[in-house]
Chain A
Amino acid sequence: MAGKFQVSSSPHIRAKVTTSKIMLSVIIALLPAALFGVWLNGPYAALILILSVAAAVLTEYCYEKVTKGKITISDGSAALTGLLLGMNMPPRITWWMPVLGSVFAILVVKQFFGGLGQNFMNPALAGRCFLMLSFAGSMTNFNVADAAAAKIVDTVSGATPLAAIKAGETGNLLSMFLGTTKGTIGETSALLILIGGIFLICTKIISPRIPLVYLGTFAVFALIFGGHGFDLYYIACELCGGGIMLGAFFMATDYVTRPITVKGQYVYAVILGVMTGIFRIFGGSAEGTSYAIIFTNLFVPLIERATIPAGFGVVREKKKGGGAA
């Protein structure tokens, strides 16, 4: 008799999905855009990517060694953070800046708050914003003044297409979609980022909910407040330019820093779209995706608290004065 019943506590069915598999899939999905960035900007861009990944992994290893914790570098999350940070760097940045950014992202933003799953904002973006605040000049200098520049379709001003549009010029939509423009190493090609994003959606790593609602809200916001009237060409340029594609598919969907509840994810994506619109259209600089995402990350606990579903069979109490929502 005793052999017939297996008694164990739930869960009884386990998926084969592990953290390292998820992280590996995201890294694979990022590779086309990253390799394109290297092809476009020359071998120095590859060095930047390698350095930021290596610095992120090494920082995680050293911190866990020093604090005698479990070594978690094999789950790939540190490598992913490093790769995302590297893809957010201008192609000719001084080599130690991405290293410093990676150390900051992993050490301060991730490990100080308890490691993977505990960070309150996206480490890669926090690292980028740290560098933006510290070295504003180097972080916004997208000039590629050597042979590699021949591949880049330049605008008259020599600025990024998004900055040129903000200044009143018309963007070249095809080059912005394909990615042969100025920008950070991994953000320029909307096409390759979309391919990576669709790969992640098909393999069910991410749901299309956050990226679509985010991009949709932003498009509507730009349509209303962009000052170009009903100009779909302008909207398409805004969507393909800057880091919004990379942010929408790879950073806003980060498991740790997005809301858990479905309703919450809609709220989160709408806030992201509005914030990006405000920063881009009313802000001082042409791009605001990274700030929009890390600010919205801070709202996530509030969003989750407000949208937590009632348990099965539980009737939610009508809100009384002063009740917690």
Chain B
Amino acid sequence: MSAKKELTPNTPIERIYNGVAKENPVLVQMIGMCPLLAVTTSVSNGIGMGLTTMVVLVLSNILISLLRKVIPNSLRMPCYIGVIASFVTVTELSLKAYLPSLYEALGLYIPLIVVNCIIMGRAEAFAGKYPVVPAFFDGIGMGLGFTVGLVILGAVRELLGAGTLLGYHVLPASYQPINMFIMAPGAFFVLAIVIAIIQKRNAVKEEKAAAAAKKEREQILAATTGMAMSAGK
């Protein structure tokens, strides 16, 4: 029906495309909102949070996928939490040791990665059912998708709220920053507008596809009735 070529499921490219665009965790599935709204006061915080989450996501996806035949179905949630929490602790301690400034900036939101719904969601929906290689690329894709969302939000908020990007002044010095964009309400406004734009784009795309499909059906119908009429003559 649709003219677009579907990618073969569970190949690395399909998983990454799925995570970044088709099922982007924050912009399409709308999960992981808490860190998204809280830490995106700047682009660098967004990148830091996104990559930290990606590391944990990839590691937990790999381990959960390896253990998927061992973990009993009724006990899978506590097992997933245990796996994720261990990796978060490892990541947190490494950040504290090697990137203390990022550790300071993200603060409480690093331990909170344990309860990030993206990681739980991927463990439940994907890693617990599929082999290691697709699970690994699923983690990369979803992690990148999360980072993309964080960077978009962080860029808009940092630009409007502080007049900088990645800490560099990109707007003229006369620009007076609109502080609200750095504060909590700004996060909600920007997120809502970004999601609205994406939804609108998807709706237009779907409408076009539906219209094309309808036209195709009508053509077939016209052709068959024409044939029937000429046969009737």
Q: Which residues of A contact B (CB under 8 A)?
A: 94, 100, 108, 112, 130, 133-136
Question: In chain B, residues 45-75, which have Cβ atoms closer than 8 Å to a Cβ of chain A?
Answer: none
The answer to whether B189 touches A134, judged by C-beta atoms less than 8 angstroms apart, is no
Complex contacts, B181 vs chain A, CB 8 Å: 134
Determine whether B180 belongs to the interface, using a CB cutoff of 8 Å to chain A: yes
Question: In chain B, residues 177-198, which have Cβ atoms closer than 8 Å to a Cβ of chain A?
Answer: 178-181, 183, 185, 189, 192
Complex contacts, A112 vs chain B, CB 8 Å: 192
Report B154 CB to chain A, min CB distance, Å: 18
Q: Specify which of B179, B181, B192 lies most central, judged by the most chain A CB atoms within 10 Å of its CB.
A: B179
Complex contacts, A135 vs chain B, CB 8 Å: 176, 178-179
Contact digits for B184-224, partner A, Cβ 8 Å, 1 yes 0 no: 01000100100000000000000000000000000000000
Complex contacts, B178 vs chain A, CB 8 Å: 100, 134-135
Tell me the nearest residue of chain B to A107, going by C-beta: B193
Complex: A130 Cα to B183 Cα, angstroms: 11
The answer to whether A133 touches B189, judged by C-beta atoms less than 8 angstroms apart, is no
Complex: A135 Cα to B177 Cα, angstroms: 8
Report B174 CB to chain A, min CB distance, Å: 11
Report A115 CB to chain B, min CB distance, Å: 16
> How many contacts between A and B, using CB within 8 angstroms?
17
Tell me the nearest residue of chain A to B176, going by C-beta: A135
Complex: A112 Cα to B200 Cα, angstroms: 13
Complex: A100 Cα to B192 Cα, angstroms: 19
Q: Which of A100, A108, A134 contacts B179 (CB 8 A)?
A: A134
Complex: A134 Cα to B181 Cα, angstroms: 8
Complex contacts, A134 vs chain B, CB 8 Å: 178-181
Complex contacts, B183 vs chain A, CB 8 Å: 133
Residue contacts A-B, CB under 8 angstroms, 17 given = A94-B176, A100-B178, A108-B189, A112-B192, A130-B180, A133-B179, A133-B180, A133-B183, A133-B185, A134-B178, A134-B179, A134-B180, A134-B181, A135-B176, A135-B178, A135-B179, A136-B179
Complex contacts, A133 vs chain B, CB 8 Å: 179-180, 183, 185
Tell me the nearest residue of chain B to A138, going by C-beta: B176
Question: In chain B, residues 13-45, which have Cβ atoms closer than 8 Å to a Cβ of chain A?
Answer: none
Complex: A94 Cα to B176 Cα, angstroms: 11
Complex: A134 Cα to B189 Cα, angstroms: 14
Q: Specify which of B176, B183, B192 lies most central, judged by the most chain A CB atoms within 10 Å of its CB.
A: B176
Complex contacts, A130 vs chain B, CB 8 Å: 180
Tell me the nearest residue of chain A to B178, going by C-beta: A134
Q: Specify which of A94, A112, A134 lies most central, judged by the most chain B CB atoms within 10 Å of its CB.
A: A134
Complex contacts, A108 vs chain B, CB 8 Å: 189
Report A141 CB to chain B, min CB distance, Å: 14
Complex: A134 Cα to B192 Cα, angstroms: 19
Complex: A135 Cα to B179 Cα, angstroms: 7
Complex contacts, B180 vs chain A, CB 8 Å: 130, 133-134
Question: A133-B185, A134-B181 known; 15 other A-B pairs, CB under 8 Å?
Answer: A94-B176, A100-B178, A108-B189, A112-B192, A130-B180, A133-B179, A133-B180, A133-B183, A134-B178, A134-B179, A134-B180, A135-B176, A135-B178, A135-B179, A136-B179
Complex: A130 Cα to B178 Cα, angstroms: 9
Complex contacts, A94 vs chain B, CB 8 Å: 176
Tell me the nearest residue of chain B to A100, going by C-beta: B178
Report A294 CB to chain B, min CB distance, Å: 12
> Which 3 A-B pairs have CB atoms at the shortest separation, nearest pair first?
A134-B180, A133-B180, A134-B178
Complex contacts, B189 vs chain A, CB 8 Å: 108
Complex contacts, A136 vs chain B, CB 8 Å: 179
Complex: A108 Cα to B189 Cα, angstroms: 8
Complex: A112 Cα to B197 Cα, angstroms: 12
Complex: A130 Cα to B180 Cα, angstroms: 7
Question: In chain B, residues 113-167, which have Cβ atoms closer than 8 Å to a Cβ of chain A?
Answer: none
Complex: A94 Cα to B192 Cα, angstroms: 29
Complex contacts, B176 vs chain A, CB 8 Å: 94, 135
Complex contacts, B192 vs chain A, CB 8 Å: 112
